[in-house]
Amino acid sequence: MMRHGWMKRIVTLGSLTIVLAMLWPGTLALGGPPRQGDTSQALQFSALGAVFPLTLGYAIPTMAFSPAGDRIAGSVVPSPSDPQTPAQVFWWDVSQSGPEVAQSHGLGATYATLAFNSDGTRLAAANIDNVFLLDTVTGRITATFENRVGEGVFDMAFTPDGAYLIVATWHQLMVFDTASGQASQVSLRGDIAGTGAMSEDGRWLATYLAGGITVWNITIDEGAPTLDERISVECDACGNYPTAALSPDGNRLAVTGSQGYAALFDLESGAAQELSPAQNDNTFAGSPSFSADGTLLAYAMSRNRASGFTSEAWVFDVTSGRMVGTLAMQGDGLFKGLMFSPSQPLLAALFDFEIQLWSYSLPAGSVVAAGEGAETGAPAEVIAYTATTPLTAKYHPNGRLTCTIEAGEAVLPAGQMAGGSIQVYAGGAGCEGPVWLTRQDAAGLVGISDAILNGLAIVTTPAQFTVFDTESAIPDYAEVCAGATEWGTPPAGGPPYRASFPASLLPDELQATSDTGLDIIVCVEDVYVPVETCYYTSASGYSATYERRRSDKRITLVDYARRTIVARQTFYGGTPELCPNQISGNGFNQGPMPDYETWSAWAIANLTGSGAPVERTTVATGTINARSEPSTSSEVLTQLTGGTPVNLIGRNEAGDWALALTPDMNRVWLYAGLLQVARRTKVSLLPVVDGPAAAVSLP
């Protein structure tokens, strides 16, 4: 449940205000049209209006909801310049405009976490030294328990009957009898990397070790805790300090980490569903939280940009894994985290100097599906749009290979690159498979609203071609490059090729993948060509030479299977200045190498076929039946004639039927043997799907 703020940085400011959101006119719509098969719809969030000024304190490192959702608590840390001022804990009725109680006596240092008991009458506040129990009616401390292990507390919970308080630190699990104060503890396995999560009822505990997550069943027998392992799952992408949350039913675990990684784990099967991939060191995901009914997951996505630190709340439908919207986080101080109310449709956002509170609901009419036969409550269909003018799309958002979407063609939005380009399918003959539009073109020239664009699923940026770290992934890289002396024909089928490229020479946007075989190795060789030798003789008769060398790049494309040269080009570099007037001995000087832009365009054009039209997947010949399911006994939805372009988005397990988008963006099943499949589209690599065509979501 992770009640503490996920970012630990604290800044010093003079005053502190807690706001249960400023009252803004209207509402903010989150998400676009839900995808068919989703259980969620587009959400609307509304700010609640209430302002709570605080005169003491300097940051709010943590917050917690009461189980009934009627109260929210936050702790306030004294300024380091005023060490005599104790920390404070405040709690409020979320429907009123002021704090119920300000408790400030003897609470010591900052708090790692807060927790209410089941009826909300007691609030636990823990720090590295002590755990305090506070009466939420009187505001008084009713008990103080020593934190005997002297470690930070990453989560805690009362048992449902309130008899025990379970406290998890980095290495220990402590259990306090709330009546007597008697404590027991058990060690957690290994070195916990400062993270974990506990269920609201204290039954389940998730802990993170480097590279893996373990979920434990907590049992208490006469005050003594026991941990029994429920499941362990690998999570190499979680990073060093991930944050976690358990779903209300205890069957799912959400994990967010450094570099923007986020995933959902099914605790019955151990299966993982990636929500957002690891991106870069300037991107951080954290503070995951499930909604009261467990159908939504929100987490914070922050980026450290040149213009400053920016943060958003990303909200996902748990069942489908689809994003239902984003919400910009702007408040007083740094954004620290998110928390859903455990019983009401409320989302709280934590900042250094305020808490903002949002209500959320389904907008009226959002369950109406597009197309004929739509019924209230039925899965909603994705809407296809029409290009109003010819558009240039890219096969890679940062690449050079383009295609044209003609005016009047159907355009189906499919996904988005985080903070950037929009992935679409086009119904005409110009673009094969998913292609990318700028957000500006998608909005202005296709007419897709910001709300819909924001609701598209985040799509991992694809590779323009396969990129390997050649030194480790291809041990014979140097030998292949050095030994390729014979010329041969290009690999069958033509570009785009699956190629190896020395990763250190590529910009970040050419991301690495290794899920397909290799066609070509790109050999990059530094060549130094002597252009002048200068001779020197000293008065004593000593002779020396000084050589001026031009620095060239020789790029060779080698057929990996046949070890033959497909293409080769030398790019001339610079030549150093004239020979010096005097030298101290034999030597040389080299000019600058050609920069990446000088030679990479040639290599990439050869690998991707830039400048040449990309072939389209079409109906091979005659007229074929487009069916509702991958079987000749299923319903015929329509017929397609030879030459009709289609986009393939899936296949059945056997691979003999393909799920396709027709030019008007309807989903149909086609027998793969009756299609002329473009090289760029490989049926064997399409996702395996099943069932009626109209019920299958976009991949």
**How many other CB atoms sit within 10 Å of the CB of residue 306?**
5
pLDDT at 646: 95
Q: Which amino acid is at 173?
A: L
Residue whose entry in the numeric block shows the structure tokens 């060490």:
83
Residue 315 confidence (pLDDT): 86
Position 360 pLDDT exceeds 70: yes
State the pLDDT at residue 449.
Answer: 78
Residue 501 is predicted with a pLDDT of: 65
Q: Is the pLDDT of residue 616 over 80?
A: yes
pLDDT at 155: 85
Q: Which amino acid is at 80?
A: P
Whether 154 has a pLDDT exceeding 50, the answer reads yes
Task: Please tell me the predicted confidence (pLDDT) of residue 24.
Answer: 23
Strand, helix or coil at 107?
Answer: coil
Do the beta carbons of residue 111 and residue 61 sit within 8 Å? Answer: yes
Q: What is the model's pLDDT at position 508?
A: 38
Name the residue among 356, 341, 330, 352 with its Cα closest to residue 76.
352
SS3 content of the chain, % helix, strand, coil (to 5): 5, 40, 50
Q: Is the pLDDT of residue 13 over 70?
A: no
pLDDT reported for residue 691: 87
Is the Cβ–Cβ distance between 322 and 315 less than 8 Å? no
Place of tokens 């110009």: 430
Give every CB contact of residue 72 below 8 A, 6+ residues apart in sequence.
Answer: 20, 63, 64, 65, 66, 91, 92, 94, 348, 355, 357
pLDDT at 653: 92
Task: Give the confidence band of 535 by pLDDT, cuts at 50, 70, 90.
Answer: confident
Element (H, E) at 605: helix 596-608
Position 632 scores a pLDDT of: 93
Nearest Cα to Cα of residue 604 among 501, 695, 531 = 501
pLDDT at 378: 31
Least confident of 98-102, 341-345, 498-502: 98-102
- Residues in CB range of 69: below 8 A, 6 or more apart: 94, 292, 341, 342, 343, 344, 346
Cα 379 to Cα 373, 415, 529, 597, distances in angstroms: 11, 18, 67, 48
Q: Which amino acid belongs to residue 33? A: P
The three-state secondary structure class of 443 is helix
- pLDDT per position as a tens digit, 634-662: 999 999 999 999 999 999 999 999 999 99
List, for residues 269-282, the tens digit of each pLDDT value: 888 888 877 766 67
**Torsion 373-39-257-513 (CA) sign:** negative
Lookup: tokens for 255: 């994990």
Phi-psi region of 336 (alpha: psi -120 to 50; beta: other; left: phi over 0): alpha
Compute the radius of gyration of the chain from its Cα atoms. Answer: 31
Share of the chain above pLDDT 70, in %: 74
Q: In this structure, are residues 283 and 303 in contact, taking their beta carbons and an 8 Å threshold?
A: yes
Q: What's the whole-number mean pLDDT along residues 281-292?
A: 85
pLDDT for the residue numbered 698: 72
The mean pLDDT of 234-247, rounded to a whole number, is 81
Q: What confidence tier does 431 reach under pLDDT thresholds 50, 70, 90?
A: very high
Nearest C-alpha neighbor of 400 from the set 522, 504, 507, 278: 507
Instruction: Give the model's pLDDT for residue 623.
Output: 92
In order, the DSSP letters of 446-476 are S---HHHHHHSPB-PPPPSS----HHHH-TT
Residue 210 has pLDDT above 50, yes or no: yes
Q: What is the pLDDT of residue 686?
A: 87
| Residue 536, both tokens | 């020197």
**438: helix, strand or coil:** coil
Mean pLDDT taken over the chain = 76
pLDDT tens, residue by residue, 27-39: 222 233 223 223 3
CA distances from 367 to 36, 287, 375, 414 (A): 11, 30, 8, 19
- 147 within 8 A of 153, measured Cβ to Cβ: yes
Determine the average pLDDT of the residues in 68-86. Answer: 71
Alpha helices in 456-539 (DSSP H): 470-473, 477-483
Query: Could you tell me which residue, 170 or 116, shows the higher pLDDT?
Result: 116
Pairing state between β 252-256 and 262-266: antiparallel
Q: Tell me if residue 238 falls in helix, strand or coil.
A: helix
Of 120, 133, 130, 186, the closest CA to residue 153 belongs to 130
Mean pLDDT across 518-532 = 85
635, 689, 41: which is closest to 369 by C-alpha? 41
Residue 347 banded pLDDT, cuts 50, 70, 90: confident
C-alpha angle 461/464/468, rounded to 5°? Answer: 95
Looking at per-residue confidence, does 331 or 122 come out higher?
Answer: 122
- The model's pLDDT over 553-600, given as tens digits with 9 standing for 90+, comes to 999 998 888 889 999 999 998 888 788 777 777 788 888 888 877 787
DSSP at 428: S
Alpha-carbon distance of 74 to 80, in angstroms, equals: 19
Contacts 24+ apart (CB under 8 A), 486-492: 486/563, 486/564, 486/565, 487/564, 487/565, 488/559, 488/562, 488/564, 488/565, 488/566, 489/566, 490/559, 490/566, 490/567, 491/519, 491/520, 491/559, 491/561, 491/566
Tokens 């673009």 locate to 431
Please report which confidence band the pLDDT of residue 78 belongs to, taking 50, 70 and 90 as the band edges: low
Between 73 and 55, the higher pLDDT residue: 73
Specify whether the CB–CB gap between 40 and 322 falls below 8 A: yes
Q: In what order do the strands lie in the sheet with 262-266?
A: 243-246, 252-256, 262-266, 272-276
| Percentage of the chain modeled with pLDDT above 90 | 18
- Residues 602 and 669: their CA atoms lie apart, in Å, by 39
**Looking at residue 380, what is its pLDDT?**
35
Q: What is the pLDDT of residue 7?
A: 29
Contacts of 202 (CB under 8 A, 6+ apart): 157, 158, 159, 160, 164, 166, 218
pLDDT at 10: 22
The count of residues in the chain is 699
Q: What is the pLDDT of residue 425?
A: 94
Least confident of 3-7, 217-221, 656-660: 3-7
What is the mean pLDDT of the segment spanning 170-176? Answer: 87
Q: What is the mean pLDDT of residues 166-174?
A: 86
Q: Counting runs of H as helices and runs of E as strands, what totals does the chain give?
A: 5, 49
| All residues at 6 or more sequence positions from 420 whose CB lies less than 8 Å from its CB, including other chains | 397, 439
Q: CA 457, CA 32: separation in Å to the nearest integer?
A: 10
> Strand 520-537 and strand 499-500: pairing?
parallel
